[in-house]
Chain A
Amino acid sequence: MSNNEVKLHSIKRNDTILKVVIYIVCIIFSIMTLFPFVILIANSYKTSIEVQESTLSLISKHPIQNLKFNWHVISSKGTFKPMVGFRNSFIVATLSTILNVYFSSLTAYAITAYEWKLREAFNAMIMAVMMIPGTVTMIGFFQFAYKIGLVNKLSALILPSIAAPMTVFFMRQYLQASLSMEIVQSARIDGAGEFRIFNQIVVPLMKPAIATQAIFAYVGSWNNLFSPMILLTDGNKKTLPVMVSLLNGDIYKTEYGAIYLGLLITVLPLIVVYAFLSRYIVEGVALGGVKS
């Protein structure tokens, strides 16, 4: 064997070793990811005693019966109302996602397509606003909501999403790369109004970016705990994460199986949605990537 061949051989062997290491680490992390979900499912159909005996076993004596009983426990004790939480979270997340992506696209379009005096200043302001964490506004927002009667109103959680600086920032990145002013010009020559151009030409062009940002906005809104916890005190207005936090309460302290079922119920819809849309999330984030 010549020297070169030996070298090539050792590079190849190193490659195989590296690949094996990569797969082992990835599989360990995959198991780590799936572990909590397996635990959730496996304990949702057990009795409290079975959970106490072994959280890690997958076997139960009467799974169907236990599932029914656990469902009865979580839906009958009053405070944790999964269906009400679902409905409220669905309303809040859907409406705020629509407002978020539509008005963010509009604002991004205003910054990208038009030359106006305060454009640069406005753009800089949006970048700065991204840094204001939502929680810092909470004390003032609560006082303000209290004054104008927005406490316990779902709209207090929906309307603020009209101004979503992070989404505007991403949308602008996307528009700068993909919007050609020629299309807009030709639509103008055809006599279309500016607003109509935006709705019928620009919005369809932005579909991929809108899809990605809509998923982020939806998940963010669905999972939000801090502001709903402060703004919503009425049991019939609470969103799902606030309902979940009730599972921590004393009345469920010994109902282990029921708690796992309650948690599973809050997770399932997100998993189902994710199964269908994960492609957009994982590939689509590239759209929002800062181009350097």
Chain B
Amino acid sequence: MRNKKLVDYAKYGYIFSIPFILAFCIFTLYPVVYTFIIGFTNLKGAGNTEFQFLPAVGKNLFQNFMDVLKAKTFKQAFGTTCIIWIMNFIPQIGFALLFTAWFTDRRSKVKGTGLFKILFYMPNIITAATMAILFQKLFGYPIGAVNQLLGHLQPGRQPYNYLINNVPIKLIIAFVQFFQWYGHTMVNLTAGVIGISPEIFEAAEIDGANRVQTFFRITIPCIRQIMLFVLVTSLIGGLNMFDIPELLVGSKQGNGAAITTNMYIRNLAFDGSYLYNRAAAASVILFLVIVALSAVLFFVMRDKDEAKIKKLKKAELRAARKGL
């Protein structure tokens, strides 16, 4: 082992990790555990920190969870979140891949890619809150920019209230989400493609592969890890969607058609009723959903060859041990 000399230094590995571990335990682990626990209690009311477990007050331990799962509003909020995420993610990854293919193509050498990349990434740095309010004003009723423009194009047209109708609201939120994130995804994917060894592309070119073949047979398999990363982070971000729907439409407008799971949780906990226990149960459910979906993604997109090699190695080790 090359690191035999380092054994003496092992303690620094622990020492240097202490700040991270401490901060993690205080600000993440403890609150998560606390959230789990609150889910099984009767904690509610503003500023209240006293609570009892539900069985102690004569209720089912899982009452909060059952209440949340039964609530129509929770199901609706979760459905809304998923629909908006999917409507934003499909065009997002689609355009990101398209631009990645164009900007990294060795044969056509597009000029100005640097400028385009900088422009496309720009919406991502803008505060989502600002973006949401801006779009709310643009789609305003009756005198928002969109209604004005359509009025000019078609005189005598009645202004349309986009923000109270189920489908347009979701489309607008999904569009803002797409608008803010396609550049980010593209930059990540491009970074992955740049990391691929040029020899592979040269070989493909010599073998007569055309652009489309090269992209689907070589580029995409090579950036699978990054695609997985983009997919998982986008899924987590998407299921936690809050800023844009909250400020673009809010919980009170739009007949609840734009309430996401996180808005639902915040309303339960901090808006009037202070049902901390039920909000905690709802966020635990959301967390479990995210873990389950991420696990599925990791499993589906895992490197099958690598897994096979690992299995073989393990089997060999076992055989060797038995032999000894």
Q: A residues bordering B, Cβ < 8 Å?
A: 15, 18-19, 22-23, 25-26, 29-30, 32-34, 36, 39-40, 52, 54-56, 103-104, 106-107, 109-111, 113-119, 122, 129, 131-144, 146-147, 159-160, 162-163, 165, 168, 181, 185, 194, 198, 219, 222-223, 225-226, 229-230, 240-242, 244-245, 247-248, 256, 259-260, 263, 266-267, 270-271, 274, 278-279, 281-282, 285-286, 288-292
One digit per residue, 1 when the CB lies within 8 angstroms of any chain A CB and 0 when it does not, for chain B 121-136 equals 1111111111101111
Interface contact A131-B290, CB-CB below 8 Å: yes
Interface contact A109-B49, CB-CB below 8 Å: no
Q: Say which residue of A109, A223, A256, A281 sits within 8 Å of B128 (CB atoms).
A: A223
Q: Say which residue of B20, B107, B286, B287 sits within 8 Å of A107 (CB atoms).
A: B20
Tell me the minimal C-beta distance from B238 to chain A in angstroms: 10
Which residues of B sit under 8 angstroms from A107, Cβ to Cβ? 16-17, 19-20
Which residues of B sit under 8 angstroms from A291, Cβ to Cβ? 195
CA distance A28 to B242 in the complex (A): 29
Q: Quick one: given A19-B110, A114-B10, A133-B239, are A223 and B127 in contact (CB under 8 Å)?
A: yes
Interface contact B6-A290, CB-CB below 8 Å: no
Name the 10 nearest CB pairs between A and B, nearest first: A114-B13, A140-B34, A140-B31, A162-B23, A110-B16, A116-B13, A140-B35, A55-B145, A160-B27, A163-B24
Interface contact A56-B149, CB-CB below 8 Å: yes
CA distance A109 to B13 in the complex (A): 8
Which residues of B sit under 8 angstroms from A117, Cβ to Cβ? 10
| Of B161-169, B220-228, B313-321, the one touching chain A | B220-228
CA distance A4 to B270 in the complex (A): 73
CA distance A92 to B24 in the complex (A): 19
Tell me the minimal C-beta distance from A167 to chain B in angstroms: 10
Interface contact B32-A137, CB-CB below 8 Å: yes
Interface contact A226-B243, CB-CB below 8 Å: yes
A-B contact pairs, 21 of them (CB 8 A): A33-B122, A36-B134, A107-B19, A110-B14, A111-B17, A114-B10, A131-B294, A133-B236, A135-B262, A137-B27, A138-B35, A141-B31, A168-B20, A219-B124, A223-B125, A226-B242, A226-B243, A279-B118, A288-B191, A289-B195, A292-B224
CA distance A136 to B284 in the complex (A): 7
Interface contact B145-A162, CB-CB below 8 Å: no
Interface contact B108-A19, CB-CB below 8 Å: yes
Q: Quick one: given A144-B31, A219-B125, are A292 and B223 in contact (CB under 8 Å)?
A: yes
CA distance A43 to B240 in the complex (A): 32
Interface contact B116-A259, CB-CB below 8 Å: no
**Chain A minimum-CB-distance residue to B126:** A267
Q: B residues bordering A, Cβ < 8 Å?
A: 2-3, 5-7, 9-17, 19-24, 26-28, 30-36, 38, 43, 47, 49, 95, 98-99, 102, 107-108, 110, 112, 114, 116-131, 133-138, 143-145, 148-149, 179, 183, 187-188, 190-192, 194-195, 222-226, 229, 232, 236, 239-240, 242-243, 246-247, 250, 262, 265-266, 269-270, 276, 279-280, 283-284, 286-287, 290-291, 294
Q: Say which residue of A122, A139, A282 sits within 8 Å of B280 (CB atoms).
A: A139
Which residues of A sit under 8 angstroms from B294, Cβ to Cβ? 131
Instruction: Determine the main DSSP class of A at the interface with B.
Output: helix
**Chain B minimum-CB-distance residue to A247:** B133
Indicate the member of B124, B129, B279, B290 with the most A CB atoms within 10 Å: B129
CA distance A103 to B126 in the complex (A): 26
Tell me the minimal C-beta distance from B150 to chain A in angstroms: 11
Interface contact B130-A266, CB-CB below 8 Å: yes
Interface contact A163-B27, CB-CB below 8 Å: yes
Interface contact B283-A106, CB-CB below 8 Å: no
Which residues of A sit under 8 angstroms from B31, Cβ to Cβ? 137-141, 143-144
**Chain B minimum-CB-distance residue to A112:** B13
Which residues of B sit under 8 angstroms from A266, Cβ to Cβ? 127, 129-130
Interface contact B14-A281, CB-CB below 8 Å: no
**Chain A minimum-CB-distance residue to B24:** A163
Which residues of B sit under 8 angstroms from A259, Cβ to Cβ? 133, 137
Tell me the minimal C-beta distance from A206 to chain B in angstroms: 14
Which residues of B sit under 8 angstroms from A25, Cβ to Cβ? 98
Which residues of A sit under 8 angstroms from B236, Cβ to Cβ? 131, 133
Q: Quick one: given A103-B19, A133-B290, A140-B280, are A282 and B28 in contact (CB under 8 Å)?
A: no
Interface contact B12-A110, CB-CB below 8 Å: yes
